[in-house]
Structure 1
Amino acid sequence: MAPVRYTNPNTVYSRIQDEDEEEGFLTVAKEHRATSKAPEYLPTWNRKEKYEPLKFYEHKDPGLKADPALPNLLKKGVVTTKNITPKLGTEVRGIQISELTEEGKNELALYVAQRGLVVFRDQDLASKGPEFSVEFGKHFGPLHIHPTSGAPRTSPELHVVYRRADAKNLFENRNNLVGFHSDVSYELQPPGTTFFTVVEGPEAGGDTLFADTVEAYNRLSPAFQKRLEGLHALHSGVEQANFSKRNGGVVKREPVQNIHPVVRTHPVTGQKALYVNSGFTRKIVELKEEESDYLLNFLYNHINNSHDLQARARWEPNTVAVWDNRRVNHSAVLDWDTAETRLAYRITPTAERPVYDLKDLNTPAESKPYEGPDYKKED
């Protein structure tokens, strides 16, 4: 198979340090909870929290209901926008997404599908608390509960990214920790419109990179695009679950592997995008091992190393980045060496099952827990 280099949570998380024996919650150590600027968002892991495999549902993207003129989102005379690059990413000021009407949220979904990434400045979303973010995110689809990551104690639907100020040298065994991926692409119905905000971070550094897989597909020659048609790739959550178990973490839902088309079509824009990523894609199922490795590594290099189809989001205070996991891959940038904590959370609405042809949209399917030699199910 193609080289598996799962970017383990030590790069963006801190290892669990403490446990509340009475309630069975794993938490970060008390001294770090005491100094946190946003303790309500600190990650916890409930050892008793278990979930059944995700079941298929018919997803209707709210962007399909939006007014293309976006009158409820980009209000003239109020909102200012600035494109980060011509094709990928826009920075917006002058609107609170927490106050959007239903029509405004639909337009937000459309706008993010069109631009891939939209960075909203001066937002109050996080200040309203974890429960508000959960309810806000449900408009865009059922929220994904991550199978291994921590979450605020009151809100398991939020995915927390946490690195302590005293984290060890992350480059002790690696030269490069850039790891482009599309979030939990191993699920039967991976995320669509996705929200992320840093509630505590370094003064400089810790940006996020985004790569446009629509542009990556469009730059391929017609003959190469034709060769990718009909190919499917295996996406796996097994390595992520194994890492959590090895490091004293929890597995809240048994890992799955699902097969998705190498090229998927967006149900709102109709654009085709490459749907492979070096975080979770393992093999092109129609090809032999060496052939699969060769083709996947070419596609990874094309997406990850083409800086002229990428954008960089800089985390100012009270920034919310919204991206479409169906058309962009992203990576954290671990480039700060000061003793500063980074605490962030993600709202992750799920979307449709990826398809190449939209006539196959919302075809029912089943996602089963992985059974094989690479993973031992918990007793």
Structure 2
Amino acid sequence: MPIETPKAATNGEKPRIRRAADEEEGDPAKYPHYLPVWDYSQKYPPLEPFTHHDPGKNADPSLKDLLPPGVATVKKLTPTIGTEITGVQLSSLSNAGKDQLALFAAQRKVLVFRDQDFADLPIEKAVEFGGYFGRHHIHPTTGSPEGYQEFNLVHQQRSSNGEFETFIAGKNSTVLWHSDVTYEEQPPGMTILFALELPEVGGDTAFANQVEAYRRLSPALKERLHGLKGVHSGVEQAEASARGGGIVRRAPVVTEHPIVRTHPVTGEKALFVNALTTRIAGLKKEESDALLGFLVNHIGRGLEYQVRVRWEPKTVVIWDNRVTAHTAIVDWTTTERRHLARLTPQAERPFETPYVPEE
């Protein structure tokens, strides 16, 4: 999940505020008000628990307000995950349409909306839209538009091969299957990512359906996984930000979540492990490494339950972070800018329901 961090100050001291706009090279950004800012004075207390009500529970299953007949064009991208939609303007949805959006995202896992005006909305309107689906998560380490910490910005301007080498850091690939900030007590649910500026080709995002990944396991392994908990850590992310001259707004946390979680709207069970899961609680290291390694590899190699989304201008991608994993694909070697903005509403604390044989 490559995210630009600010350069370290040349005199060894961090300024109070760093702005990507001050370090611009080449063509100016198309959306300068979305360029990342790092404010070193931002220090936030730990997140407090809150009660989350998923809007998908209110939704009319006909989806008529989200996908009006004769207006919306709907195309499945794969049988198991991903649907592309045209003819619908997200910014114009009624509350009933937003409820149905949450339900449809839970059902299809990833929704790709083309020809959207989202990037051109007043920034506070985008924040208001995201807030309908839960409390906004403020990321502890990434840059955000000045005055709008609700956004997590992906901004890569100098994406030459040299930067590619930085991202892979001695590995063969940049692929890193993860779900966003699962170290939080209440990780995100419906997540909104929209394009601001893109390379001509490359920089796609791949998604994996963790419900289908769970379904494909043997009954014996499914049963064994129930009751186990994964340890999700934000420590490594905070340490990497600090080393790179970035910010740490909030003390990092380490949280245990069920390895198999249940979706509150669909009732589906999903694997809930990813790159932020460091170990399995209660197991010895060798046991944890073996089982966790198998599960992560199982998710990553399952092309039958993955989709690769190609970004286009005016695209908004919405996914359910509870039942998916994703990875950026850093494959372009030009100096074109890749600039996206994410809103990450938090949801309920992950829970599991009992294992039922032959579900």
Superposed CA offset, 1:114-141 (max 9, x none): 0000000000011013222111100000
Which amino acid letter does the alignment assign opposite residue 258 of structure 2? P
Whether 1:314 and 2:307 are equivalent positions in the alignment is: no
Match of 1:187 among 184, 187, 199: 184
Q: CA deviation at 1:344?
A: 0.7
Q: Could you list the runs of 5+ residues in structure 2 that have no partner in the other structure?
A: 355-359
CA distance in 1 between partners of 2:342 and 2:248 (Å):
19
Match of 2:98 among 102, 105, 115: 105
Superposed CA offset, 1:180-229 (max 9, x none): 10000000000000000120110000000000000000000111100101
Whether 1:56 and 2:56 are equivalent positions in the alignment is: no
Q: Which deviates more from structure 2 when the two are superposed, residues 127-136 or residues 105-114? A: 127-136
Q: Which deviates more from structure 2 when the two are superposed, residues 259-268 or residues 47-56? A: 47-56
% of aligned pairs identical? Answer: 50
Q: CA deviation at 1:166?
A: 5.2
Q: CA deviation at 1:171?
A: 2.7
CA contact (8 A) 2:9 2:245 kept: no
CA distance in 1 between partners of 2:260 and 2:152 (Å):
27
Match of 1:24 among 16, 24, 34: 16
CA distance in 1 between partners of 2:345 and 2:156 (Å):
24
Superposed CA offset, 1:297-344 (max 9, x none): 000110011111100110011000000000100000001011101111
Match of 2:4 among 6, 13, 28: 13
- Mark the CA change 1:166 to 1:273 in structure 2 (over 3 Å): closer, same or farther: closer
Q: Could you list the runs of 5+ residues in structure 1 that have no partner in the other structure?
A: 1-6, 359-379
Superposed CA offset, 1:40-69 (max 9, x none): 110001111111111111111000001010
Matched with 1:287 is 283
- How is 1:288-303 mapped onto 2 (pairs within 5 angstroms)? 288-303=284-299
Which amino acid letter does the alignment assign opposite residue 165 of structure 2? F
CA contact (8 A) 2:130 2:345 kept: yes
CA distance in 2 between partners of 1:15 and 1:178 (Å):
22
Matched with 2:333 is 337
Q: CA deviation at 1:38?
A: 1.0
Matched with 1:40 is 33
What is the SS of the residue equivalent to 2:237?
Answer: helix
CA distance in 2 between partners of 1:50 and 1:40 (Å):
23
CA distance in 1 between partners of 2:292 and 2:230 (Å):
9
Match of 1:206 among 203, 206, 219: 203
CA contact (8 A) 2:204 2:308 kept: yes
- Mark the CA change 1:198 to 1:16 in structure 2 (over 3 Å): closer, same or farther: farther
Q: CA deviation at 1:24?
A: 2.4
- Mark the CA change 1:143 to 1:225 in structure 2 (over 3 Å): closer, same or farther: same
Q: CA deviation at 1:30?
A: 2.4
CA distance in 2 between partners of 1:207 and 1:138 (Å):
26
Which amino acid letter does the alignment assign opposite residue 277 of structure 2? T
CA contact (8 A) 2:5 2:245 kept: no
Q: CA deviation at 1:31?
A: 4.9
Whether 1:82 and 2:75 are equivalent positions in the alignment is: yes
Q: Which deviates more from structure 2 when the two are superposed, residues 30-39 or residues 328-337? A: 30-39
Equivalences, count: 347
Matched with 1:375 is none
Whether 1:241 and 2:246 are equivalent positions in the alignment is: no
Whether 1:161 and 2:158 are equivalent positions in the alignment is: no
Matched with 2:274 is 277
CA distance in 1 between partners of 2:24 and 2:197 (Å):
13
Q: TM-score, normalised by structure 1?
A: 0.88
CA distance in 2 between partners of 1:309 and 1:334 (Å):
21
Aligned-residue RMSD, C-alpha: 1.8
What is the SS of the residue equivalent to 1:323?
Answer: strand
Whether 1:349 and 2:345 are equivalent positions in the alignment is: yes
Which amino acid letter does the alignment assign opposite residue 170 of structure 1? F
Superposed CA offset, 1:77-131 (max 9, x none): 0000000011201000001001111111000000000000000000001101322
Q: CA deviation at 1:248?
A: 1.1
